[in-house]
Amino acid sequence: MAAYGLYTHIQSNRRRSVALLIGLFFLVYVLVFAGALLAEAMSIPDAPLDYLVQAAIHDLRIAAPVATVGTILWVLIAYKFHQRMIDAVTGAHQVTRAEEPRLYNLLENLCISRGITMPTLRIAEDDALNAFATGLNEKQYSITVTRGLLGALDGAEMEAVLGHELTHIRNGDVRMLVIAVVIAGVISFFGEMVFRLFFQGARFGGFGGRRSSDNDRKGGGGAAIAIVIALVLIVVAWLLSIVIRFALSRRREYLADAGAVELTKNPDAMISALRKIENRGELATANSSVMEMCVDNPRQGFSDIFATHPSVDARVEALVKFAGGHDPGPIALEPPADEQGQIEGEAPQGPWSTGPQPGNAAQAPGSQGPWGAAPASDKPFLPNRSPLDDSSGGSTPR
């Protein structure tokens, strides 16, 4: 099989995918322990800290099988239905060769040239300029292109974008991103559930308010400390789920750009595509998880610290430096055809224009002009009679 990209990066992504799945279960168990510690602290407010910790560990052992089964079910549902969920968010639909022959042929040619199993092709009905790949295995891999991108890029630029997404698929970036999104969803769900139970319990006076025995109560007063520890664990688990997504190296975008150049042998096309996509890629209905899969994820200001994509300038600079491309600088795009027609239709009319004049909407189409009615036909103007004709009885000037 022909190889492209960096094998070390591919192997690293495989190891990270396994580590992410293991980390998912670890974070779920941390949340379950934190929830149990909160419940024990609210139920036995006068118990010492060590007693509450031991009780929470005992609760964790009981709840761990349920949490494990729930997490596995969540992962299986995401494995089976994640594409449908993404399509529902972005409004994407699968297309065939008959529907989009140019796009389909570009993707097929790239796959044939490198012996790659062709992913399914989808179009998102969005005016934004972006594309992304999804899937967890060869049978699920899919590339989605927005309608706006399809209309803005020429054939070479579109081929470069498709090569970029194919490189993400082959390098394992897509699988790792989907797993990271699943982890974030699970942790957010469990964290929110624990918080809701805690605040509802605090609102209604705790979880029963039972008292510990005299032996257990020696050195009591650990409930407040236990609550603080539990809340810290929940926050840390939630932050780790976010950090996992941000820790996905920005290097993957540089490698995908390089893979696109290797597939197409055209660095200028990749650079031009990035310049056209720059600051035009925000999908109206997509959440942050979907935007992290896109060719470009626009970020501004402080949020750039947590961006999963390097800036377009940095990516273009790398292509110019290492692939020999030429940077045209920011590219201004023409408005869509319908908007262009509307703009042209609103151009100001002159006194000899054939169009209706402002403030004179009732005027007939053939009556414009300062010297009376204009001819209705497209023939040149001719007088009704010759100026030398004296049939009317008048005298002809000598």
The catalytic site residues sit at 165
Nearest to 217 by CA among 49, 376, 71, 56: 49
Nearest to 34 by CA among 52, 55, 56, 54: 56
Residues contacting residue 279 through CB under 8 Å, at least 6 positions apart: 298
Q: Are 176 and 168 in contact (CB under 8 A)?
A: no
Residue 60: strand pairing partners: none
Q: Are 91 and 125 in contact (CB under 8 A)?
A: yes
Integer Cα distance of 87 and 70 in angstroms: 25
DSSP string for residues in 196-260? HHHHHHHHTTSS------HHHHTT---HHHHHHHHHHHHHHHHHHHHHHHHTS-THHHHHHHHHH
Integer Cα distance of 302 and 383 in angstroms: 73
Nearest to 226 by CA among 61, 64, 25, 46: 46
